A = this chain, B = another copy of it.
Amino acid sequence: MIRKGRLFTPGPTQLLPSAQLAMAGATMHHRTAEFRAIYTRVLADLKTFVGTKNDVVMFTASGTGAMEAAVANLTSPGDKVLVVSAGKFGERWEGLAKAYGCAFETVRAPYGETVTPQQVREKLKPEHRVLFIQATESSTGVRHDIEAIARLLKGTETLLVADAITGLGTTHFDVDGWGMDVIIGGSQKAVMIPPGLAFCSVSDRAWARMETSKNPRYYFDLRKERKNGAKGESSYTPSTALVVALAAALDYIREQGGGDLATGRKLLVDNAETAAAMTRAAAKALGLRLFSASSPGAALTAIASPDGVDSSDIVKAFRNQFGAIVANGQGEMKGQLIRIAHLGYYDYLDTIAAIGALEQVLAGMGRPIDLGAGLRAAQQVYAEVTLPAAVAR
């Protein structure tokens, strides 16, 4: 059969066609009233999308750029900081803390598990200047209990910096209520456009911290970017095409919310939750083990490779047989799991289709698969979510 190219990867994700077309047609200069109006609107919409009253700043960079911005702007060499690490992106916080000369300690969980609030409480000290964490750890699919961990920091001098690059649009956050000082997102995730833009919101006490922090920063200078953002500009030439794409994507999310962006964001999170629940149910019905069983997030579902199967072969078969890209495990996890994304522009039909492909791929590899069992379980989940209780059963 025909193989259409499809991304089921947790970033880049499937692109929104109206954003693709807006991007292609965008011929504009960034120092014009026309572009300033778009940039101003995007920054305001991102505040709503993040769900905060704090100012949002944006960089032309991948998400790691905004992670570096948080470290470079909020720390000084020798600062004591706490890193929460449960996977490859937690390890990125360690790499950044090391690069910027922080004296970091790490609270760690094995791949596939979360760090518990109890673990954080045991390690947290008053002298920790910042706690760096993932809201969702994209390499394993787990979701940290940000609300409970934020509660531990109340009344302390420790800033909470959360990489929510796959968390935004897949997770409900009360950013200001919980006290998330910095929360970071990226363009190639739930906002449905290509990689190349990173953004974060920054709290008043994080802005205040920057007055005295001493690590070098220039391109990723948050204060400079905030000041220029207030004028509808970026400090350096922004990726104009991607900014225009992002404006179109935020418009789409607003439309989904009946004209209200915050409602659209909530629906997007619910959408991911439903797709994730369908996929988890399908995996279980097919006798597969979830790689992150205890606290799976809705950004993606990580499924452990069956015994004796290298997940690289599953990834290959998805691509060769169906043209669909699913993600392998990263680093040491390569070969052990596949990751199927739900964040952003994935609907019911995509979800059902991915599950069908998973069944065929495993059957094709000679696994004892009851074809249709995963799909049936997913159907049941969808019906339970959407149909009146009496009809669903």
**Chain A interface residues (CB < 8 Å from chain B):** 5-7, 9, 11-12, 14-15, 20-21, 23-32, 60-65, 68, 71-72, 95-96, 99-101, 186, 188, 194-196, 215-220, 235-242, 319, 325, 327-328
Listed from nearest, the 9 A-B pairs whose CB atoms lie closest are A196-B239, A24-B24, A194-B241, A64-B236, A62-B237, A99-B218, A62-B236, A195-B237, A20-B24
A218 touching B68 by the CB < 8 A rule?
yes
Measured CB to CB, the nearest residue on chain B to A214 is B101
**Assembled-state Cα–Cα distance A96/B236 (Å):** 13
B62 touching A239 by the CB < 8 A rule?
yes
Q: Which residues of B contact A31 (CB under 8 A)?
A: 327-328
A-B contact pairs, 13 of them (CB 8 A): A7-B29, A9-B29, A11-B237, A20-B24, A29-B327, A30-B195, A60-B65, A62-B238, A100-B216, A100-B218, A188-B237, A219-B220, A241-B241
Copies in the complex: 2
Contact of A24 among B21, B29, B95, B220 (CB under 8 A): B21
Q: Name, among A5, A20, A28, A62, the residue most crowded by chain B CB atoms within 10 Å (CB to CB).
A: A62
B237 touching A239 by the CB < 8 A rule?
no
B101 touching A60 by the CB < 8 A rule?
no
**Assembled-state Cα–Cα distance A5/B29 (Å):** 10
B194 touching A26 by the CB < 8 A rule?
yes
Q: Which residues of B contact A242 (CB under 8 A)?
A: 194, 196, 239, 241
Contact of A7 among B28, B71, B96 (CB under 8 A): B28
**Assembled-state Cα–Cα distance A240/B5 (Å):** 15
Contact of A62 among B24, B28, B60, B218 (CB under 8 A): B60
Q: Which residues of B contact A186 (CB under 8 A)?
A: 237
Nearest CB in chain B: distance from A345 CB, A: 11
Q: Which residues of B contact A24 (CB under 8 A)?
A: 20-21, 23-24
A60 touching B196 by the CB < 8 A rule?
yes
B12 touching A237 by the CB < 8 A rule?
yes
B30 touching A14 by the CB < 8 A rule?
no
B12 touching A196 by the CB < 8 A rule?
no
A99 touching B216 by the CB < 8 A rule?
yes
Q: Which residues of B contact A239 (CB under 8 A)?
A: 62, 194-196, 239, 242
